Amino acid sequence: MKLLKTLLVGLVSIVFITGCAGTTPIQNVSQTVIGNHTTTEVQKAILAGGINRGWVMIPAAEGVINGKLINRDHTVEIQINYNANNYQIKYIGSTNMDAKNGKIHSKYNRWIANLNKDIQIQLNRLSI
């Protein structure tokens, strides 16, 4: 009986630890724009970078783009504030990403890092 209890406690602990291992702190991005770019060029780079990664990018106001990514049963919503000198990518909400207490599924930060990289690539193309 004691062995059964020990095994049960161990199994529950493993399940709990495994379930929590896939979340990480939400990382918002603040990026300086390198080079001489206009606000319109930064907007175009953000839109192109997002669309290339499968994001739905919607200009919401001057200097603001809302982004949405649907990946199977996961949905992520972000807001990108920008001007000619910098941009910020901020987490707005998600579905099926285990988001709570400032943490989210680890794929979110990877998707945001890839989006940021693609925006930088688009900005570099404009500089050539």
- Indicate which CATH number applies to the domain containing 83: 3.30.310.80
Q: What's the token pair of residue 104?
A: 């989210």
How many CB atoms sit inside 10 A of residue 6's CB? 10
Does 29 map to a domain?
Answer: yes
Q: How many structural domains are present in the chain? A: 1
Which domain, by its residues, includes 41?
24-127
pLDDT over 70, % of the chain:
84
Does 103 map to a domain?
Answer: yes
Does 32 map to a domain?
Answer: yes
What pTM was computed for the model? 0.82
Classify strands 64-71 and 74-82 as parallel, antiparallel or unpaired. antiparallel
Does 3 map to a domain?
Answer: no
**Rg over CA atoms, the chain:** 19
For 3-45, the pLDDT digits (tens) are 555 544 544 444 444 444 589 999 999 999 999 999 999 999 9
Q: What's the token pair of residue 84?
A: 């000619």
Q: Say how far apart CA 118 and CA 100 lie, in whole Å.
A: 27
